[in-house]
Amino acid sequence: MGKGAENSAMAKADKPSEQSLDLPADARAEERPGDGIETGREAIGAALVTMPGAPGVYRMLAENGEVLYVGKAKNLKNRVRNYAQPAGLNTRTLRMIAETRAMEVVTTHTEVEALLLESNLIKRLRPRYNILLRDDKSFPFIMITADHEWPQLAKHRGARNRKGEYFGPFASASSVNRTLNTLQKAFPLRSCSDSIFAARTRPCLQYQIRRCAGPCVGRIDPEAYGQLVAEARDFLSGRSREVQTGLSRRMEAASANLEFETAAIYRDRLRALAHVQAHQGINVASVAEADVIAIHMEGGQSCIQVFFFRAGQNWGNRAYFPSHGKERAPGEVLAAFMGQFYDDKPPPREILLNEWPESHELIAEALGVKAGRKVRLHRPERGQRRELVGHAQTNAREALARRLAESASQRRLLEAVADLFALDGPPRRIEVYDNSHISGTDAVGAMIVAGPEGMQKNAYRKFNIKNENITPGDDFGMMREVLERRFSRLLKAQAAAESGEDDSTFGEASGAGGGEDARVAGEWPDLVLIDGGLGQLSAVREVFADLGVTGVALAAIAKGPDRNAGLERIFLPDKPEIALEPRSPVLYFLQRLRDEAHRFAIGTHRARRAKRMDRSTLDSISGVGPGRKRALLNHFGSARAVETAGLTDLESVTGISKGVARRIYDFFHPEG
């Protein structure tokens, strides 16, 4: 319910619905030590004089006007009267009463309207004595565009301004990425932007790994592409069985006509659909549209897991950690969570729970009013639905255990990073890249990895720059090569892992195996940081666009003027640059990441340079091993003397035959 809903509720009241119940001057006077509770009681008592006995929402205000608490009631006067008699109330509530200096109320026609308005106000005002839903970011959708001759399959978040069809919501960007990954294998539609599509002159890597049909370069006709779009639409709408049946028939027909390559393509697409079904975890055939919500409380904290089932498929899950006092009961926390969670989201037809929220019948009625149809709340005791709830509860328990085990300071830093870069949640894997060279020689790229447990040094990787076409000292070109190698190998490793193949040849970039999705295995970063400015950022964006990499946040951190620490600028794609406060903890954290990448890159470069300097030019001559090399150096004293020696002098060295002497001489004198 948005701001307009509050106005609507106010307009329906028989009298002005919002009342500002100001307190007498003596009640607002500066309180004396120890009389905070009495001052608060007097404030509430003064408000009760004109408090209506109707349904509505009340707000408790501090002396500076801050909203301390928002609550709803079927009868406002009866509910607020409890605060004027604080005996038996818990410490947190007593503290709130002691800080109260004024109250405001909004009356409504029904308790359902009051509940909807309460949820909206809590979410908007975020009072510190309410149970608050944190990290409530908008959910992503999958979009099939309808404003281009060749529809694009893409992830979408935010206002639905572009013409097309939207499927969702999905629990997180990773959920969308997994589904998109499967769709691209089963229905190889383009994922590139219109500008990239228009500029293509040759197929990209997505075409090479059969994730795109190549409409940009005419590798598929419009009719066949339209059929792929229709099948993808059916799959996302819950008609996956019909799609599988159709593909199976076409595979059999192609095989019967001895069109084995075509049949193999249909076979691979069927495998992709089977793969996504296998990743559902639990058979959800009987659950077409539902949210599964489970709460687990421990150590005064709680975790609420929400699983999304749409079109008969599991569209991911997300963990929430509401902010609340230790004395709160599970039903109370769950009720507050649901009110705020569905304030700006359409509720499904069914919500499965492991605990009954307080006033669950009222919540069901309120959600039904919001959705314009019946919404059923159900706490299953047996069967498949009970399995789904149990699975969600297990995830909630494990997520809370991980959160309690993590370093509080590290978690706060990662949460701040998530807010800065608009991530779905605290990043589990951050990759930072840097280059090092001297005038273009011994050029290397370096990648370091950080996460909730700090620096993950076993995941560090180095890249020797191999492209001979890169101009010495071209930092942009080196960064482009490093990121291209890293993510092309990730894509190939992921494709191999999903097909069940053992692909151990991908070196530093490979990390998925055993048939597990590489993104699920944690090898894909949530955030990529580049040491550099707009130039480096643009180079990496080109690589991502060329490879079809999506769902990975990207940023560049540039040193300040005169390379002063504390004056760094952060560049984001298509957004204004960011300059954090010099003493910002997040800035210190990003500086540490950048400095660690720089240290690793410098160390790798120095090691490579030292190795090169230790190598003699004699090592490059065929047939000259350690023994002959030692004999030559002992005889002439240095490699330089060997280089200038004549053929006769070389033949006089013990252990050097005439043939080897000729080979050495010709190596240093190719013109002769």
- Checking if the pLDDT of 104 tops 90, the result is yes
- Encode pLDDT of 87-98 as tens digits: 778 888 899 999
d(CA 150, CA 197): 10
C-alpha dist (Å) from residue 94 to 21, 55, 100, 114? 20, 24, 10, 24
**Closest Cα partner for 646 from 662, 657, 631?**
662
- Checking if the pLDDT of 462 tops 60, the result is yes
The rounded mean pLDDT for the chain is 82
Q: Note whether 444 and 604 are within 8 A (CB).
A: yes
Residue 519: CB partners within 8 Å, gap ≥ 6? 174, 177, 178, 181, 494
Residue 478: CB partners within 8 Å, gap ≥ 6? 435, 437, 443, 445, 465, 470
For residue 253, how far is the Cα from the chain centroid? 42
- Encode pLDDT of 292-330 as tens digits: 999 999 878 899 999 988 877 788 888 999 988 888 899
| Beta-strand runs (E) in 349-468 | 350-353, 376-378, 430-438, 441-451, 454-455, 461-464
**Closest Cα partner for 165 from 223, 213, 233, 225?**
233
- Two tokens at 243? 């799609």
- Mean pLDDT confidence for 559-567: 66
Residue 563 CB-density burial (10 A; 0-12 exposed, 13-18 middle, 19+ buried): exposed
DSSP H stretches of helix in 442-516: 475-498
For residue 626, the model assigns a pLDDT of 81
Of 47-61, 139-153, 293-307, 619-633, least confident by mean pLDDT is: 619-633
For residue 23, the model assigns a pLDDT of 38
d(CA 205, CA 485): 12
For residue 87, the model assigns a pLDDT of 76
For residue 439, the model assigns a pLDDT of 65
> Which residue ranges form the domains of the chain, and what is each CATH number?
3-125 (3.40.1440.10), 141-278 (no CATH), 290-405 (3.30.420), 418-612 (3.30.420.340), 617-668 (1.10.150.20)
Phi, psi of 449 (to 5 degrees): -130, 135
pLDDT range class, residue 529, cuts 50, 70, 90? very high
- The helix/strand/coil state of 353 is strand
**Closest Cα partner for 502 from 492, 514, 511?**
514
For residue 51, the model assigns a pLDDT of 92
pLDDT range class, residue 117, cuts 50, 70, 90? very high
For residue 671, the model assigns a pLDDT of 56
For residue 4, the model assigns a pLDDT of 40
- Checking if the pLDDT of 77 tops 90, the result is yes
Neighbours of 570 (CB within 10 A): 20
C-alpha dist (Å) from residue 579 to 171, 409, 568? 31, 22, 7
d(CA 141, CA 310): 12
DSSP string over 591-616: HHHHHHHHHHHHHHHHHHHHHHHHS-
For residue 383, how far is the Cα from the chain centroid? 33
> What residues does 154 pair with on adjacent strands?
143
**Closest Cα partner for 266 from 256, 254, 257?**
254
Q: What b/e readout covers 137-170, taking b as 16+ CB neighbours within 10 angstroms?
A: eebbbbbbbeeeebbbbbbbbeeeeeebbebbbb
Beta pairing class for 527-531 and 430-438: parallel
468 or 39, higher pLDDT: 39
150 or 442, higher pLDDT: 150
Query: In the block, which residue shows the tokens 């470069």?
Result: 605
- Among 242-256, 545-559, 560-574, the range with the most confident prediction by mean pLDDT is 545-559
Q: Note whether 430 and 525 are within 8 A (CB).
A: yes
- Checking if the pLDDT of 636 tops 70, the result is yes
- Checking if the pLDDT of 8 tops 70, the result is no
- Checking if the pLDDT of 521 tops 70, the result is no
- Checking if the pLDDT of 491 tops 60, the result is yes
d(CA 24, CA 21): 10
Name the DSSP class of 356. Answer: P
Residue 373, amino acid: R
Residue 195: CB partners within 8 Å, gap ≥ 6? none
For residue 275, the model assigns a pLDDT of 65
183 or 520, higher pLDDT: 183
Name the DSSP class of 364. Answer: H
d(CA 483, CA 631): 45
- Encode pLDDT of 447-456 as tens digits: 999 988 788 8
1 or 598, higher pLDDT: 598
- Mean pLDDT confidence for 106-126: 92
Peptide bond connecting 169 to the previous residue in cis, omega within 30 degrees of 0:
yes
d(CA 654, CA 635): 9
The fraction of the chain above a pLDDT of 90, given in percent, is 32
d(CA 310, CA 618): 68
The fraction of the chain above a pLDDT of 70, given in percent, is 86
Q: Note whether 20 and 101 are within 8 A (CB).
A: no
